[in-house]
Amino acid sequence: MTLPLPPEDLLAGDTLATRARWLRAEIERHDHLYYDLDAPAIGDAEYDALFRELQALEAAHPALRAADSPTQRVGGAPQPEFRAVRHAVPMLSIRTETDFGEAAAVAFDARVRRELKLGDEAPPVEYCAELKFDGLAMNLRYEHGLLVLAATRGDGETGEDVTQNVRTIRELPLRLKGDPESLPAVLEVRGEVYMRHDAFARFNREAAARGEKTLVNPRNGAAGSIRQLDPKVAASRPLSFFAYGIGETVGWDIPATHAGILDALAAFGIPVCGQRVVAKGGSELAEFHRRIGAARATLPFAIDGVVYKVNSLALQSELGFVTREPRWAVAHKFPAEEATTRLLAIEVQVGRTGALTPVARLEPVFVGGVTVTNATLHNQDEITRKDVRVGDTVIVRRAGDVIPEIVGPVLDEEHAQRACFDLIAAYPECPVCGSHVVRGEDEAVARCSGGLWCPAQRKQALLHFASRKAIDIEGLGDKLVEQLVDAGLVQTPADLYALDAGTLAALERMGEKSAAKLVAAIGKSRKTTLARFIYALGVRNVGETTARDLARSFGALDRLLAAAGSADLERLQRVPDVGPTVAACVVDFFAEPHNLEVVAALRSAGLEWEEGEEALDEAVLAAAPGEVAGKTFVLTGTLPSLSRDEAKALIEAAGGRVSGSVSKKTHYVVAGSEAGSKLERARQLGVEVIDEAGLHELLKRQGFLPEQGEEQ
Ligand code: IVH
């Protein structure tokens, strides 16, 4: 490799300082050729060699390191946190006009004129109109021309010192242009750090190729990069900057207009966006808004509106501020971006609870700063309401400029000929596990019924199965479930019973002791109750209480399976509080062969419980007569001394049952403070309402004295 040689005189009387200076100048020259003129004169390897030599020189002789050295751009060591910095002049926010129409521009001008007490005959007010960049606000402090501090806006008073990261932004000068003698002692430049669309796309392409995480959108990309504690990460992100104002200045003859300030900043070498005009009066502002709105999609970076500022600084100070916003400026927004594209297909995703969410696959379209290839359609009702059909041209919007959403179809001639989408018809079986898909009568959501089997629901199902109120396996929490499933050791709850301590001990963060403990806990859980077992299966709408009632009423699992298997809704509804919805959920669950397989596997794994006689509902109620026993309670609001769980435990210990909703079958509603709709419903149905003291009274009358909370 041939390095460009420094001029003879430097080689001759070579000192380290002159060598360092020469390297800096050479690197800057190549940066300029590469970044500004797009005309590189040397290859990457030669450039790297220059750079590394300078780095080595500076590392060996720290005195040679200058604040404006190009080596400062690559980022130093990671920091533990960002230092807080108080802004010399607060960073204010700006009033936002969300009315997208042109009237807002005219109204702003009228407001300014009124406040300046300008009569109708006075000449139009001059404004500087510019773009509202969609990135992250930044304050850059230059002292005697050198960039010494970069801080985020924070709360406007205090921001964070992100100098290391901002130094990595190539297009920002580390030293201002101009005669060093006449540069301001202090010049704070304010503006927006942002990411260009092409830089964003390139970054994501490369990150994806390396198998790394991609950025969600350019704005998050900019904000996220600036907040990286490791400046090397920030250095790898292609960021840009546009100035839109100033903060503190010392020793600078401030221009008389805002446009003059922006011109002066540009002359210092600070990037200032060319899309700015001096406009006279409201109609020219409206014209700017219209023109930029039309050009918005073709800009190489994201904007979310335009900003109008009174141009004269003298008039600005006359207008002053209201709270934290200047009266002389306003942001005039654009509506969320929309685009049209083709709906290629509607697929479904299966969530942790088995819910099937339809997802629109779209022909890739660039909208609101990102390429959108799919959008959620939420559920069947949403598809029906919007009447979107596969093959349609659809309008896509990035709602809140983040989540892509389908607004509706473009009603072309073919639309009517296309088939309406019917989720259940398209997906009668779960695309993940093949179990049948059901949708309850009053439900918006369609679900996979393979709760115990479906890989999409596996982790959730296992966690529920092992939870305290279900089979109660101590120590089996979400981290462990995650590990067991990811390692392929456990697929259904039945697999838990085949685990041995040796296998478990090989897992990360799992010692031999805890492995043995877990195996013991799993073993212990084999002895359970029918109620716990039913609850642990995770049948939709079958909570703890319903599971207990099912267990009491059927007495034996096979009797429940028989009723469910023959879809005996009538028998199921003889169980207290089981209505048509719950009965249908029970039938659906046991109609899925995969679930029955798991139930069978659990039984052969040795799970056991005591079984009893069948008891029909009246019998269940009659089994334990008393003030509380056999009665149904509903708890609502906050009780003065008992928590919900404590009250529930007391009632159940005395043989009562606690239900979640008030019906005609409810005997008592126990109401605390801030009781809401349940109390209302109790009154409508004429159900007796008592308070905590009333509950204690009932318990006492039954001769049931709770162990705790007993009166002294
Ligand atoms: S002026 C006193 N001009 O919008 C006025 N802000 O202020 C200070 N923004 O997060 C702000 N482009 O970072 C101004 N051309 C522009 C802007 C702009 C974007 C951001 C700014 C701040 C927000 C509201």
The finding on whether 94 has its CB within 6 A of some atom of ligand 1 is: yes
* Better pLDDT: 12 or 260: 260
**For residue 94, which atom of ligand 1 is closest to its CA?**
7
Task: Give residue 707's pLDDT.
Answer: 45
Beta carbons of 105 and 292 less than 8 angstroms apart: no
Q: What is the mean pLDDT of residues 504-526?
A: 92
Total domains, the chain: 5
Question: How many beta carbons lie within 10 A of that of residue 402, not counting itself?
Answer: 15
The finding on whether 134 has its CB within 6 A of some atom of ligand 1 is: no
Beta carbons of 676 and 636 less than 8 angstroms apart: yes
Closest alpha carbon to 250 in 177, 181, 184: 184
Task: Give residue 302's pLDDT.
Answer: 87
Ligand 1 centre distance from Cα of residue 386 (Å): 37
Instruction: Verify that 273 and 366 share a domain, yes or no.
Output: no
Last residue of a domain, one of 387, 410, 426: 426
Domain membership flag for residue 46: yes
Burial 334-357 (b: 16+ CB within 10 A, else e): eebbebebebeebebebeebbbbb
Task: Give residue 249's pLDDT.
Answer: 97
Any idea what the CATH number is for the domain that residue 62 is in? 1.10.287.610
Instruction: Verify that 486 and 475 share a domain, yes or no.
Output: yes
Mean pLDDT lowest among 90-94, 305-309, 441-445, 524-528 = 441-445
Ligand 1 centre distance from Cα of residue 140 (Å): 14
The finding on whether 129 has its CB within 6 A of some atom of ligand 1 is: no
Last residue of a domain, one of 299, 318, 333: 333
- Name the residue of 127, 133, 152 whose CB sits within 8 Å of the most ligand 1 atoms, as the mutation to test its pocket: 133
- 211 burial type by CB count under 10 A (0-12 exposed, 13-18 middle, 19+ buried): exposed
Q: What is the mean pLDDT of residues 79-99?
A: 87
Beta carbons of 611 and 561 less than 8 angstroms apart: no
For atom 18 of ligand 1, which residue has the closest CA?
A: 132
Any idea what the CATH number is for the domain that residue 326 is in? 3.30.470.30
User: Token pair for residue 297?
Assistant: 């999609």
DSSP state of 711: -
Task: Give residue 522's pLDDT.
Answer: 96
Domain membership flag for residue 435: no
Ligand 1 centre distance from Cα of residue 95 (Å): 10
Task: Give residue 564's pLDDT.
Answer: 95
CB within 8 Å of 37: residues ≥ 6 apart: none
Ligand 1 centre distance from Cα of residue 241 (Å): 13
Instruction: Verify that 172 and 268 share a domain, yes or no.
Output: yes
**Single-letter code of the amino acid located at 632:** T
Rounded Cα gap, residues 702 and 628, in angstroms: 7
Rounded Cα gap, residues 373 and 341, in angstroms: 10
Last residue of a domain, one of 290, 307, 333: 333
- Name the residue of 96, 127, 140, 192 whose CB sits within 8 Å of the most ligand 1 atoms, as the mutation to test its pocket: 192
Instruction: Verify that 311 and 395 share a domain, yes or no.
Output: no
Ligand 1 centre distance from Cα of residue 37 (Å): 29
Q: What is the dihedral of CA 668, 671, 676, 679, to 10 degrees?
A: 30
Please, which pLDDT band fits residue 8 given cuts at 50, 70 and 90? very low
Beta-bridge mates of residue 151: 139, 161
User: Token pair for residue 549?
Assistant: 């009632």
Highest mean pLDDT among 224-228, 410-414, 467-471: 467-471
Instruction: Say if residue 255's pLDDT is above 80.
Output: yes
Q: What is the dihedral of CA 364, 367, 371, 374, to 10 degrees?
A: -60
Instruction: Say if residue 710's pLDDT is above 50.
Output: no
The finding on whether 192 has its CB within 6 A of some atom of ligand 1 is: yes
pLDDT digits (tens, 9 = 90+) for 682-693: 988 888 999 999
Instruction: Verify that 617 and 633 share a domain, yes or no.
Output: no
Beta-bridge mates of residue 343: 362
For atom 16 of ligand 1, which residue has the closest CA?
A: 132
Any idea what the CATH number is for the domain that residue 671 is in? 3.40.50.10190
Instruction: Verify that 301 and 368 share a domain, yes or no.
Output: no
Instruction: Please tell me the total number of residues recorded for the chain in this structure.
Output: 712
Any idea what the CATH number is for the domain that residue 467 is in? 1.10.150.20
Beta carbons of 329 and 94 less than 8 angstroms apart: yes
- Alpha-carbon separation of residue 590 from 151, 451, 563, 604 (angstroms): 61, 10, 10, 18
- Name the residue of 276, 307, 328 whose CB sits within 8 Å of the most ligand 1 atoms, as the mutation to test its pocket: 307
Q: How confident is the prediction for the chain on average, in pLDDT?
A: 87
Rounded Cα gap, residues 302 and 319, in angstroms: 30
The finding on whether 137 has its CB within 6 A of some atom of ligand 1 is: yes
Rounded Cα gap, residues 40 and 20, in angstroms: 22
For atom 9 of ligand 1, which residue has the closest CA?
A: 132
Closest alpha carbon to 368 in 299, 306, 307: 299
Kindly state the helix (H) or strand (E) to which residue 603 belongs, with its residue range. helix 593-604
Instruction: Verify that 179 and 233 share a domain, yes or no.
Output: yes
Instruction: Verify that 374 and 454 share a domain, yes or no.
Output: no
Domain membership flag for residue 436: no
φ, ψ dihedrals at 441, nearest 5°: -55, -45
Q: Provide the phi-psi class of 396: left if phi over 0, else alpha when psi is between -120 and 50, else beta.
A: beta
Rounded Cα gap, residues 21 and 185, in angstroms: 24
Q: What is the mean pLDDT of residues 301-313?
A: 94
Domain membership flag for residue 16: yes
φ, ψ dihedrals at 381, nearest 5°: -60, -40
Any idea what the CATH number is for the domain that residue 362 is in? 2.40.50.140
**For residue 131, which atom of ligand 1 is closest to its CA?**
15
The answer to whether 132 is a known catalytic residue is yes
Beta-bridge mates of residue 367: 370
- Name the residue of 244, 270, 275 whose CB sits within 8 Å of the most ligand 1 atoms, as the mutation to test its pocket: 244
For atom 10 of ligand 1, which residue has the closest CA?
A: 137
The finding on whether 132 has its CB within 6 A of some atom of ligand 1 is: yes
Instruction: Say if residue 123's pLDDT is above 80.
Output: yes
Instruction: Say if residue 614's pLDDT is above 50.
Output: yes
Closest alpha carbon to 140 in 215, 59, 248, 221: 248
The finding on whether 75 has its CB within 6 A of some atom of ligand 1 is: no
Angle between helices 593-604 and 580-591 (to 10 degrees): 70
Instruction: Say if residue 2's pLDDT is above 50.
Output: no
Q: What is the mean pLDDT of residues 77-86?
A: 80
List the Cα angle 147/304/93 in 5-degree steps.
Answer: 55
- 23 burial type by CB count under 10 A (0-12 exposed, 13-18 middle, 19+ buried): buried
Closest alpha carbon to 356 in 419, 429, 406: 429
Domain membership flag for residue 539: yes
The finding on whether 241 has its CB within 6 A of some atom of ligand 1 is: no
Domain membership flag for residue 480: yes
The finding on whether 193 has its CB within 6 A of some atom of ligand 1 is: no
Instruction: Say if residue 649's pLDDT is above 90.
Output: no
Please, which pLDDT band fits residue 52 given cuts at 50, 70 and 90? confident
Instruction: Verify that 475 and 397 share a domain, yes or no.
Output: no
List the Cα angle 296/302/306 in 5-degree steps.
Answer: 60
pLDDT digits (tens, 9 = 90+) for 158-189: 999 999 889 989 899 999 999 988 999 999 99
pLDDT digits (tens, 9 = 90+) for 19-49: 999 999 998 888 877 766 767 788 777 887 8
Instruction: Verify that 600 and 639 share a domain, yes or no.
Output: no
Task: Give residue 11's pLDDT.
Answer: 43
DSSP state of 35: I
Instruction: Verify that 581 and 672 share a domain, yes or no.
Output: no
Q: Mapping DSSP to helix (H, G, I), strand (E, B) and coil, where does residue 631 land?
A: coil
Domain membership flag for residue 104: no
The finding on whether 642 has its CB within 6 A of some atom of ligand 1 is: no
* Residue range(s) defining the domain that contains residue 657: 624-701
pLDDT digits (tens, 9 = 90+) for 457-487: 999 999 999 999 999 999 999 899 989 998 8
User: Token pair for residue 214?
Assistant: 């991609």
Percent of the chain with pLDDT over 90: 53
Beta-bridge mates of residue 448: 437
Beta carbons of 556 and 564 less than 8 angstroms apart: no
Rounded Cα gap, residues 529 and 556, in angstroms: 10
Beta carbons of 557 and 472 less than 8 angstroms apart: no
Rounded Cα gap, residues 460 and 450, in angstroms: 12
Closest alpha carbon to 526 in 493, 483, 489, 482: 493
For atom 2 of ligand 1, which residue has the closest CA?
A: 92
The finding on whether 307 has its CB within 6 A of some atom of ligand 1 is: yes
Catalytic-role residue among 132, 631, 648, 678: 132
Rounded Cα gap, residues 357 and 343, in angstroms: 16
Tokens 């403990």 correspond to what residue? 517
Domain membership flag for residue 329: yes
Beta carbons of 382 and 407 less than 8 angstroms apart: no
The finding on whether 51 has its CB within 6 A of some atom of ligand 1 is: no
DSSP 652-663: HHTT-EEESS--
Kindly state the helix (H) or strand (E) to which residue 591 belongs, with its residue range. helix 580-591
- DSSP strand pairing (186-194 vs 446-448): unpaired
Kindly state the helix (H) or strand (E) to which residue 669 belongs, with its residue range. strand 668-671
Task: Give residue 1's pLDDT.
Answer: 42
Beta-bridge mates of residue 636: 671
Instruction: Say if residue 138's pLDDT is above 70.
Output: yes
Instruction: Verify that 581 and 657 share a domain, yes or no.
Output: no
